[in-house]
Chains A and B, each alone.
Chain A
Amino acid sequence: MSELDKSELDELNSDADTALPDPLEMPVMVPDAMKDLHSFEAAPKHQNDLGFPGELVDDWQDVAIAKIGDLRQKYRSFRVYLDSCVKCGACTDKCHYYLGTGDPKNMPVARQDLLRSVYRRYYTIPGKIAPWLVGARDLTEDVLSEWYNYYHQCSQCRRCSVYCPYGIDTAEISMAAREIMDSVGKGQKYCNEIIGKVHSIGNNLGMPAKAIKATMEDFEEELEEDTGIPIKLPVDKKGADVLLVTPSADFFAEPHIDGLFGYAKVFHELGVDWTLSTTASEAGNFGMFIGSYDNMRKVSLRIREAALELGVKRIIFGECGHAWRVAYAFLNTLAGPWDFLDPKYPVPQHVCEFTFDAINDGKLEFDKTQNDHMTLTFHDSCNIARATRMGDKPGGQFEIPRAVIKAVCNNYHDMDEDTIKEGTVCCGGGGGILTDDLMDVRVKGAQPRMRALRKVTEEHGVTNLAAICAICKSQFTKVLPKYDFDMEAIQSVHQLVSNAIIMSDAPKEEETPAPESPAKSEDEPSPSSEADKKMDDPHQNDRIG
């Protein structure tokens, strides 16, 4: 059979194939399926470290109701979102947690109503007079418990808001609910313990300065062994031009570390004088997940402090989804003004923008065959896709990471259009729920993404997916095996860059070692030949520019 015939046949087969479920298929409804999933609550110490009451306060109902009133005054959006829903139903099938669990309380409108019903009871005239007519209800212990369980089954991904005709943002309601719960002493352990660690140690991991330095020395050794050149990971280097603020997972987890190596190689190749900081050793900002402006600000101010202390000229953020939202959308009001930085550069800049610009300027060279053992797809991370931008054109947040991947890889194919870009389905672990005690909802919530991935693996021979978010990467290493993929199928975008970049000062006599063999599930079909792979996407060989 000729290659063309085979490709045509494949296409016909894929159209006729009904065995693969639609990634966004409506589930069978199972009321209360997830009602008992209760994330561990924060201990008094975790609460107090963040300025919240240690445990449930005696007059918690009054405090919570007053807090709703406070938020209603402070955030106009909050009030508009609570007042404007017309129950049109457009959002009902847009949440990956509803699609994965079938629990109707995971429909965005129902999740909003958990809080809206209480707001109506105490802050609207009909709700005060005739609560039974307008879906208003008293704030009881059962309601509080329901809030706790279901507002920790929301990853604040904002997919539902894209389809809401009023633009109601469930993420903001979920953040507000968590803020109210924190204010009465019912916080979540995962988020609050971590924020406490950022305040006291400097990062989500709780990795002290001495450990960061030792780890970077270790990594430098590894980089030199691999490349034969002394690529540095400078820490607290005064007078450096660039401060790289990256998630601390990049110092600890896989495949995050390989992404860090990618940044380091790009900086080295371009001769950029850069540094990490032990003060600002975390890009992530869980203050946003719990809706706490004060905590979000305190975390952000560490970046300002580090930038001033080190005397840097510009700030670049590493691969972290929600960090880029905080950085892109809020950094100036949280921790600005940034008038001490060099005005020639955007404040802040994303590492993908930085690498993309260097590629466009022809300053980097790649051996794309180093990634030929893989066929990639890209998972758009929610916060980057729906809350930020990259570069200077609309949609840059979608195109720039893809452009970087295509500049370093020969084989690339997108997942279904309605599961990527602004319609991207969450990894299932964002928004402060990347914790073992919520594994059930994490696995179920990953179902739409895993189905979309399965489709491109079967139909287009995709072997790996790349992401630019520490949470996505960690979530995928855990959930991929549950869907019969290899945990190592997830790649950092800058890991792909790291594989392919040609270092101009590399020793010429030695060959650069090839990367490890493909990370791939045994039961994944592999394209029968190189030619087959190349048939799939006419743009895959595009060079950026």
Chain B
Amino acid sequence: MAYEIGGESIEHDEEGYLSDINQWTPELAGLLAKDEGIEMTDEHWEVINFLREYYEEYQIAPAIRVLVKALKKKFGPEKGSNKYLYELFPYGPAKQACKVGGLPKPTGCI
């Protein structure tokens, strides 16, 4: 199981999450988003970039509530809501945005 992009083959698991998160590139994000039926916009990128920064710092994706709050602070109240995130990532911002951002899928009782 692998994504083919720019002549490279990038391994992923059964659910499409990258086997090696270091192989992620912004180009790959475009491909991953397309697979999910998402057209990447600046708004999507704001979320993805925040997730990746957070992951870099904490080695896990943030709770949605933390994400919402951070987006509100950074980009204004109209971008700080669950509804807004679900509009961008309809299957659930945690799982879908992590996939597009090349981060592992959050696990557990969630």
Contact = CB atoms under 8 A, between A and B. Distances in A.
Given A215-B66, A218-B69, A254-B65, A197 B60 contact: no
B107 A197 contact: yes
Interface stretch (A112-120, A200-208, A229-237, A328-336): A200-208
Given A208-B58, A218-B66, A222-B69, A252 B110 contact: yes
A43 to B, nearest CB: 8
A172 interface: no
A56 interface: no
Interface residues of A, number: 36
Given A40-B14, A218-B69, A222-B69, A474 B60 contact: no
Query: Which one of B15, B57, B66, B109 has the greatest number of beta carbons of chain A within 10 Å?
Result: B109
Interface stretch (A90-98, A160-168, A243-251, A414-422): A243-251
Contacts of B104: 206
B107 A207 contact: no
Contacts of B66: 215, 218
A394 to B, nearest CB: 28
Interface string B27-45: 0000000000000000000
B58 A214 contact: yes
B59 interface: yes
| Interface SS of B by simple majority | loop
Contact of B109 (A254, A437, A471): A471
Nearest to A198: B108
A434 B95 CA distance: 14
A190 B65 CA distance: 24
Nearest to A219: B65
Query: Which one of B58, B62, B108 has the greatest number of beta carbons of chain A within 10 Å?
Result: B108
Contacts of A40: 14-15
| Interface SS of A by simple majority | helix
Contacts of B13: 43
A251 B63 contact: yes
Contacts, number: 80
Contacts of A471: 109
A66 interface: no
Contacts of B106: 205-206, 252
A211 interface: yes
A259 B66 CA distance: 16
A34 B60 CA distance: 35
Given A218-B69, A436-B15, A206 B107 contact: yes
Contacts of B69: 218, 222
Interface string A434-450: 10110000000000000
Interface string A322-355: 0000000000000000000000000000000000
Contact of A208 (B59, B95, B107, B110): B59
A253 B15 contact: no
Contacts of A206: 60, 104, 106-108
B58 A252 contact: no
A208 B59 CA distance: 7
A148 to B, nearest CB: 15
B109 A284 contact: yes
Contact of B108 (A248, A254, A436): A248
B2 interface: no
Contacts of B15: 40, 436-437
A427 to B, nearest CB: 11
Contact of B107 (A204, A218, A254, A437): A204
A178 B15 CA distance: 22
Contacts of B94: 252
Interface string B60-100: 10111110010000000000001000000000001100000
A253 B109 contact: yes
Contacts of A470: 109-110
A253 B110 contact: yes
Given A204-B107, A215-B66, A249-B109, 9 more contacts: A43-B13, A197-B107, A197-B108, A208-B60, A215-B62, A218-B65, A248-B108, A320-B109, A437-B15
Closest 7 CB pairs of A and B: A204-B108, A211-B58, A470-B109, A249-B109, A253-B110, A205-B108, A252-B63
7 contacts: A189-B14, A197-B107, A204-B107, A204-B108, A206-B107, A215-B63, A251-B63
